[in-house]
């Protein structure tokens, strides 16, 4: 656990030191759970956004994009259920005065039991060696089966109580499990209360005529209210999807995990409109497709898992998370939700406008059902960034810090170095950059010994370093060094571009999804 915490601290300080993520308004001591993306972070974020957009919009004939406004008519949030139901159950510890999400306290408790199961598995694996059958062990080992039953019972009860809004029982559960505050260690809790997560604001100049608005807590509703506009003007036929990337705002109760849980963040959402009755099939299809997208980045299949929801949101008939192994454990990265006709149906009621599709094959009109995929861009950033940061032991007993970002997402694709700052080498390096920069972000570095420059680019995540030396002037070749293998090759300057292209092209990476 200590190691995990240390790893996470390293991730946060590396993100700052190398110009990826800064605390917002840092010179004023920061604003809690709000962050800024700096020179490298903005590029990494842009590349992740593009990787998603290409996979979802460009590669699917039946999915189109949208960029709707953050501010929306306030009735939207009545219709969507956010005014009445977008609440988190909060609980305070009276001794530490720290505030927690009651459901998260219980879930963290079950995560500890899960860690015990993992320990038992590792022990048994060691004992039985190659003949170890994990599935059989999980199903038959009495201790493990007991742990599993404990987890299921706790989560079922939590799900039921939250669904019934029985906050007294949520508190009872916390007390029965003897959950203590991680800060004070005490079990002196307040009652559980509901807290609405939407940020309010006002539209209009004079106080009496001002209209109360909300900053959107999700991008999805912008898609629903534009459903018919897009369907008609784009002549879309069901099944079809609308995708959008944009800011969302939530007044999160606890926000202690860097960019994992922010009060202002970016979502990449896609709503897929389908015939009623076909939702099960599409829900499974999108679960599979989204997992394939994640796996195409090569962060390791063992770092992902599905988590099917026990407690369903008011709009869903099925829901699953894709969880990722962050430095603080497996947590939600993306949600796939079968939202039924809840949203469109509700907007029909509240607006008095028909939001129906005429299906020429069935010769009838209906309110479409929706399957949604919703991923946090910032969480994806953290997944990629934390997974890529490694300390490597080298053969000569030294270590190097390297940010092994998938090359397709790296902010800079190459750095070009003149071996020395004279004899025309800087000029040739600049010529190479002037050609490459039409295709990629490329940086120039002439300071310090080449070894030091390599280390700097390793820590920055740059996949290629190109060194120009005296031989380059004679035969038009350079050294190209690969970040992950540290291998160096002598190549013709004319070939540099195609070598980089091969490694960073989105096409090559996205084709792994097929
Ligand atoms: P959580 O249970 O972690 O609060 P959620 O289930 O409320 O998340 P959704 O409403 O399904 O999240 O939002 C979809 C996605 O948006 C999430 O999978 C996550 O990646 C991202 N997201 C949600 N809240 C935040 C936040 N406060 N900061 C950053 N990303 C977020």
Q: Write phi, then psi, for 17 (nearest 5 degrees).
A: -60, -30
* Distance between Cα 361 and ligand 1 center (Å): 37
Give 101's Cβ-side CA count (13 Å radius).
18
Other beta carbons less than 10 A from residue 188's beta carbon:
12
Q: Is residue 428 part of a domain?
A: yes
Q: With beta carbons less than 8 A apart as the criterion, state whether 12 and 5 touch.
A: no
Residues 494 and 409 in one domain: yes
Residues 245 and 386 in one domain: yes
pLDDT value at residue 334 = 98
Specify whether 33 is located in the same domain as 108. no
- On the question of a cis peptide bond just before residue 239, with omega within 30 degrees of 0, the verdict is yes
Is residue 431 situated within a structural domain?
yes
What is the CATH number for 149? 3.30.40.230
Which residue's alpha carbon is at the smallest distance from atom 22 of ligand 1?
Answer: 376
Say what the pLDDT of residue 514 is. Answer: 81
| Domain identity same for 102 and 41 | no
DSSP state of 303: G
Kindly state whether residues 128 and 9 are assigned to the same domain.
Answer: no
Angle at 58 between CA 53 and CA 60, to 5 degrees: 110
Whether 128 and 63 share a structural domain: no
**Domains contained in the chain, number:** 3
| 102 within a domain of the structure (yes/no) | yes
Assess whether 382 and 237 both reside in one domain. yes
d(CA 372, CA 277) in angstroms, rounded, equals 15
Q: Give the count of beta carbons closer than 10 Å to the beta carbon of residue 410.
A: 26
Biggest alpha carbon–alpha carbon distance for the chain = 80
Residue 30 zone, left/alpha/beta (φ > 0; ψ -120 to 50; rest): left
Nearest CA among 176, 194, 178 for reference residue 186 = 178
Atom of ligand 1 minimally distant from the CA of 337: 11
Which residue is closest in CA terms to ligand 1's atom 3?
A: 332
Q: What is the mean pLDDT of the chain?
A: 95
Q: Which of 21, 255, 261, 377 to mutate to test the pocket of ligand 1 (most atoms within 8 A of CB)?
A: 261
Starting from the edge strand earliest in sequence, which strands make up the sheet with 264-274, in order? 63-65, 240-249, 264-274, 369-376, 329-340, 318-326, 304-308
Query: Is 378 close to ligand 1, i.e. is its CB under 6 Å away?
Result: yes
Our answer on whether the CB atom of 43 is closer than 6 Å to any ligand 1 atom is no
Please indicate, yes or no, if residue 205 is contained in any of the structural domains: no
> Would you say 318 and 338 are in contact if contact means Cβ atoms under 8 Å apart?
yes
265 lines ligand 1 (CB under 6 A): yes
240 and 191 both lie in a single domain: no
299 in a structural domain: yes
Last residue of a domain, one of 152, 168, 196: 196
Please tell me if the CB atom of residue 271 comes closer than 6 angstroms to any atom of ligand 1: no
In this prediction, the residues of the chain whose per-residue pLDDT falls under 70 are 1-4
E strand or H helix at 108, and its extent?
A: helix 102-128
Which token pair is 327? 């430095």
Query: CATH number for the domain including 376?
Result: 3.30.930.10
Mapped to the 3 state alphabet, what secondary structure does 26-54 carry? HHHCCCCCCEEECHHHHHHHHHHHHHHHH
322 alpha carbon – ligand 1 mean position (Å): 11
Residue 321 resides in a domain: yes
- 3-state SS assignment for residue 377: helix
Q: Which domain-ending residue is among 373, 393, 413?
A: 393
Residue 82: inside a domain: no
Instruction: Tell whether 77 is covered by a domain.
Output: no
Domain range enclosing 128: 87-196
Measure the CA–CA gap between 64 and 241, rounded to whole angstroms.
Answer: 6
CA angle, residues 369, 374, 377, in degrees to nearest 5: 160
Give the other-Cβ count within 10 Å of 492's Cβ. 11
Is there a single domain that holds both residue 387 and residue 425? no
Is 252 touching ligand 1 by the criterion CB < 6 Å? yes
| Among 449, 457, 442, residue whose Cα is nearest residue 418 | 449
Residue pair 101/193 in contact by the 8 Å Cβ criterion: no
CA 200, CA 73: separation in Å to the nearest integer? 12
Among 198, 209, 227, residue whose Cα is nearest residue 351? 227
DSSP H or E segment with residue 374: strand 369-376
Instruction: Indicate whether 256 and 154 sit together in one domain.
Output: no
Residue that terminates a domain, selected from 161, 196, 231? 196
> What CATH number does the domain containing 463 carry?
3.40.50.800
- Do residues 239 and 362 share a domain? yes
Same domain, 419 and 377: no
Decide: helix, strand or coil at residue 287.
helix
């Amino acid at each position: 656990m200590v190691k995990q915490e240390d790893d996470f601290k390293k991730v946060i300080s590396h993100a700052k030191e190398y110009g990826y993520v800064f605390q917002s308004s840092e010179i004023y001591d920061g604003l809690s759970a709000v962050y800024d993306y700096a020179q490298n972070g903005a590029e990494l974020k842009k590349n992740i956004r593009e990787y998603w957009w290409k996979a979802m919009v460009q590669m699917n004939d039946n999915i189109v994009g949208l960029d709707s406004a953050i501010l929306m008519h306030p009735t939207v949030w009545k219709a969507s259920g956010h005014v009445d139901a977008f609440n988190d159950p909060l609980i305070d510890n009276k001794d530490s005065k720290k505030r927690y999400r009651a459901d998260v306290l219980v879930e963290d408790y079950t995560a500890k039991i899960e860690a015990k199961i993992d320990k038992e598995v590792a022990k048994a694996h060691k004992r039985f060696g190659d003949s170890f059958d994990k599935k059989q062990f999980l199903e038959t080992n009495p201790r493990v089966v007991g742990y599993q039953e404990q987890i299921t019972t706790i989560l079922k009860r939590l799900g039921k109580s939250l669904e019934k809004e029985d906050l007294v029982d949520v508190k009872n559960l916390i007390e029965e499990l003897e959950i203590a505050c991680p800060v004070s260690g005490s079990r002196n809790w307040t009652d559980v209360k509901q807290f609405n997560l939407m940020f309010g604001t006002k539209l209009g100049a004079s106080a009496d005529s001002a209209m109360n608005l909300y900053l959107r807590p999700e991008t999805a509703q912008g898609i629903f209210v534009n459903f018919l506009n897009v369907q008609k003007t784009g002549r879309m036929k069901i099944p079809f999807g609308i995708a959008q990337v944009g800011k969302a705002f939530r007044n999160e109760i606890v926000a202690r995990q860097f960019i994992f849980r922010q009060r202002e963040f970016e979502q990449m959402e896609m709503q897929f409109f389908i015939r009623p009755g076909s939702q099960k099939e599409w829900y499974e299809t999108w679960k599979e497709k989204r997992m394939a997208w994640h796996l195409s980045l090569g962060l390791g299949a063992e770092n992902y898992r599905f988590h099917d929801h026990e407690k369903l949101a008011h709009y869903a008939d099925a829901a699953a998370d894709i969880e990722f192994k962050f430095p603080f454990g497996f947590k939600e990265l993306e949600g796939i939700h079968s939202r039924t006709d809840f949203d469109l149906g509700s907007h029909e009621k509240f607006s008095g406008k028909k939001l129906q599709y005429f299906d020429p094959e069935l010769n009838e009109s209906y309110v479409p059902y929706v399957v949604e995929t919703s991923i946090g861009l910032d969480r994806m950033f953290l997944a990629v960034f934390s997974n890529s940061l490694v300390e490597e032991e080298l053969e000569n007993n030294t270590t190097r810090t390297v940010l092994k970002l998938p090359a397709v997402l790296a902010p800079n694709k190459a750095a070009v170095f003149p071996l020395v700052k004279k004899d025309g080498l800087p000029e040739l390096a600049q010529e190479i950059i002037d050609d490459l920069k039409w295709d990629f972000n490329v940086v120039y570095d002439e300071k310090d010994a080449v070894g030091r420059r390599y280390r700097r680019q390793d820590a920055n995540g740059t996949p290629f370093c190109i060194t120009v030396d005296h031989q380059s002037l004679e035969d038009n070749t350079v050294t190209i060094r690969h970040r992950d293998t540290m291998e160096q090759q002598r190549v013709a300057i004319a070939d540099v571009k195609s070598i980089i292209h091969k490694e960073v092209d989105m096409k090559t990476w996205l084709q792994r999804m097929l």
